[in-house]
Amino acid sequence: MDFVNLIKTGNSWKFATEADLEDFVWANLKELFGLIPLKRQYYVNGQICDILALRENKQLVVLELKNAEDRYIVQQLTRYYDALQEVKPLEDEIDYQQPIGLIAIKPNFHRDNYIDKKYHHLSIDFFEFTILVDEFNYYFQIKNLDLDNEKILKIEIPHQNRERNEDIPPPSRGLLNHLDKCSSEQQEGILKIRQKVLNFDKRMEEISSAVSLRYGNGNSKTSKFCAEFYFDSKGVPIIFLWLGLKNNSSDRISRARIWTDWQDNALLEGYVPSGIGVKMNLSKKTLSNRVKIMNEIVANKGSKDHKGYKSMNQHHKDRNRIAKKLNNSEPLTYEERQLLEIDANEFTLVIGGGRLNTYKFDHYDSLNGLVDVALEKWLKKL
């Protein structure tokens, strides 16, 4: 890690937020616990696990972290255990024949935590941490409170001090209901972006409605927004970011619809002032069907029946229209890119057309990078 955000409270030091604590533990799982990182903020069956990790033998370990005293950490870990045992996600990576390990990490444990653990049939390890400071350095000291194995480990913290920012609120029931309909990749991506945006500035708020979660400094007519998760009628999440017009090259900002594969590849597809973009949705659906038809024609070495000729003619029209957008530096949807990438030259000649230019789009934007840009533009607007 380059640095960790720390704050001073009285005579002691702490992580600025729970997310900072999680960042540090995630980056040092091997050194602290001998574990292999697997997933962060992992959503499963209505629960969100801070960290999932593996031992060398593929045994799953769940870590729950608190940046302050908490009386219910045992109950949380119990719910995570139940959800993971019921769903058994990531079976290719995890050996569920082995017991799931449970670890609680906190700066101090309440007496109720010990009572809950005493009468609990699951094995839960309590680790207590402290931040130590000498003349030059900061250290993370962690102690296993198991009476039979009281180990103390200390590693250096690359630190950066900043003003205190309160920990972000837990996901609302509305968000959890939306996440239930999402894939695991979408769940993880949404939670990571949410955490990043809410941690960015103490003025950032989460505004929830029946179909979306919007992020900005309030919900009045003069409020400025930077990001939004919009869920369509089928529960599919769509990301909107407030980015520059003219394919993000202008200083003027508008609400941009973002395509992503949820693996950090992203595209700015166009601008939608409000709602989901019904016209864009219809166009994407139509073009997706045409992409499928054209790929079938190419795979079958062309088609001379009426349907094939009609499809090739439509392909010419679509490509000409999309190529004009490309030449004018207008944003293209994912499906428009796909159509331009289809190489049907040898079949184009069959219907008397000229050869088509072959386009290859190797470059995608970074979703994380686009979120950074949206945050910077939001900050300038305040």
Half-sphere exposure for 151 (CA within 13 Å, toward CB): 8
* pLDDT score of 88: 96
**Mean predicted lDDT score pLDDT of the chain:** 88
* pLDDT score of 211: 93
Query: Counting Cβ atoms within 10 Å, is residue 369 exposed (0-12), middle (13-18) or buried (19+)?
Result: exposed
Residues of the chain with pLDDT under 70: 1-2, 147-150, 160-167, 301-309, 343-358
Q: Which of 382, 375, 152, 367 is nearest to 261 (CA)?
A: 367
Q: How far is CA 278 from CA 47, 182, 257, 275, 283, in A?
A: 32, 21, 12, 8, 9
* pLDDT score of 372: 92
* pLDDT score of 66: 94
* pLDDT score of 351: 46
For residue 87, the Cα-to-chain-centroid distance in whole angstroms is 21
The 3 state secondary structure assigned to the chain is CCCEEEEEECCEEEECCHHHHHHHHHHCHHHHHCCEEEEEEEEECCEEEEEEEECCCCCEEEEEECCCCCCCHHHHHHHHHHHHHHHCCCCCCCCCCCCCEEEEEECCCCHHHHHHHHCCCCCEEEEEEEEEECCCCEEEEEEECCCCCCCEEEEECCEEECCCCCCCCCCCHHHHHHHCCCCHHHHHHHHHHHHHHHHHCCCCEEEECCCEEEEECCCCCCCCEEEEEEECCCCCEEEEEEEEHHHHCCCCEEEEEEEECCCCEEEEEEECCCCCCHHHHHHHHHHHHHHHHHHHHHHCCCCCCHHHHHHHHHHHHHHHHHHHHHHCCCCCCHHHHHHHHCCCHHHHHHHCCCCCCCCCCCCCEEHHHHHHHHHHHHHHHC
Q: How far is CA 211 from CA 48, 50, 214, 229, 280, in A?
A: 21, 26, 10, 8, 18
Domain boundaries, the chain: 4-161, 171-382
Q: Which amino acid is at 380?
A: K
* pLDDT score of 251: 87
Indicate the fold that domain 4-161 takes in CATH: Trna Endonuclease; Chain: A, domain 1 (3.40.1350)
* pLDDT score of 342: 84
